[in-house]
Structure 1
Amino acid sequence: MSAVPALPIAGEAGIGFAINATLSLAFFLGIFGMVARPLTWGAPDALGLDFVPQSIAVALMSALVPSLIARKRLGLAISVRTILLRAFGFAIGGAVLGGLLAWATDAAALPPIGWGQALALKLLYGGSLGALITTLALKRMTR
């Protein structure tokens, strides 16, 4: 059995953090606008519900893209089908996590949050989830 070439997983996770935080910024501005105002967790802003699509997208792309790049870079004999199935599994996990966060924010009946605080929260969440999923996906591939 040959050893799997080394992959700088921590570095890849850092890149994943930056990419997902940037994408979270773009979507946040697109959905909630650029005007600083209090945002509600439920209707009408649905900040809590936004955790669902954010979690799905971050989990899917953080598992899929780094895995496909690592597969090619390292010449790993892992099928694209396997990578796709794993990525969809992570996306389902992201949907569950996002749903739990949406439910929790609704159940807690949280007061509105400042626009800047909401932005910081969504950037930190998207980046951190991206780094975690990238780490888990790449560790799974290279063990």
Structure 2
Amino acid sequence: MNPAAYIRRETGVSVVINTMLTLGFFLVAFGRSGAPVPVWGIGAYVFDFVPQGFMIGLMASLVPGALAGKALRSGRVAAVDAPSPLPSALLLRSLLMAVGGAAAGVAISGGLLFALRLEQLPWGGALAAKLVWAVVLAALVTPAGLRAALARG
């Protein structure tokens, strides 16, 4: 299979899975009551970007990367000719993506919400923003990780 097509397909799968997992974890963390979501503090909205970003960064790199390595070794997908700046070791690469995802999520959400001086968010808006972040992060991490996994080494 062409590596570009493989990366597009696996990125789409990763985006859907990570968005659905985000929905589930949001409902567990903030309930289904529709009550406003507190922004600051342990267990509050901005803090929740740490586990969300970490897990999306980790799983959007680790699982697709392992599957890509297997597909590459079996000949089901061709290698990518361009080198990757990311580590070639799957676990190290995935942990780097996880830490980066957590840091980016907290920095972006915290910076924006601090600048807006918000103390709470409407439940629906908070959920929508979390889902958008899941899509964006998975759509960035997955192809970068896959290009590294498929890089000719």
Q: TM-score range by the shorter chain?
A: 0.7 to 0.9
Residues 45 and 63 (structure 1), Cα distance of their counterparts in 2 relative to 1, 3 Å cut: closer
2:58 match:
60
**Structure 1: distance between partners of 2:96 and 2:43:** 29
1:103 match:
110
How far does the alpha carbon of each residue in 1:80-126 deviate from its partner, in whole angstroms, 9 at most, with x for none?
A: x8111111111121232133135315532224221111111111111
Gaps of 5+ in 2: 75-87
Task: Provide the aligned length of Structure 1 versus Structure 2.
Answer: 135
2:89 match:
82
**1:130 alignment partner, one of 130, 138, 143:** 138
2:45 match:
47
Matched, 1:38 2:46: no
Q: Contact 1:19 / 1:127 at 8 angstroms: preserved in 2?
A: no
**Structure 2: distance between partners of 1:57 and 1:97:** 13
TM-score of the superposition, structure 1-length normalised? 0.84
Amino acid at match of 2:2: A
Q: Which moved more, 1:5-14 or 1:99-108?
A: 99-108
Q: Contact 2:68 / 2:150 at 8 angstroms: preserved in 1?
A: no
Q: Contact 2:40 / 2:119 at 8 angstroms: preserved in 1?
A: no
Where 2:65 maps in the other structure, the secondary structure is helix
Q: Structure 1 segments of 4 or more deviating over 4 A?
A: none
Q: Contact 1:39 / 1:47 at 8 angstroms: preserved in 2?
A: yes
TM-score of the superposition, structure 2-length normalised? 0.79
**1:17 alignment partner, one of 15, 18, 37:** 15
Amino acid at match of 2:10: E
Q: Determine what percentage of the aligned residue pairs are the same residue.
A: 36
Gaps of 5+ in 1: none
Residues 41 and 105 (structure 1), Cα distance of their counterparts in 2 relative to 1, 3 Å cut: farther
**Structure 2: distance between partners of 1:136 and 1:106:** 28
**Structure 2: distance between partners of 1:59 and 1:33:** 24
Amino acid at match of 1:6: N
Where 1:75 maps in the other structure, the secondary structure is helix
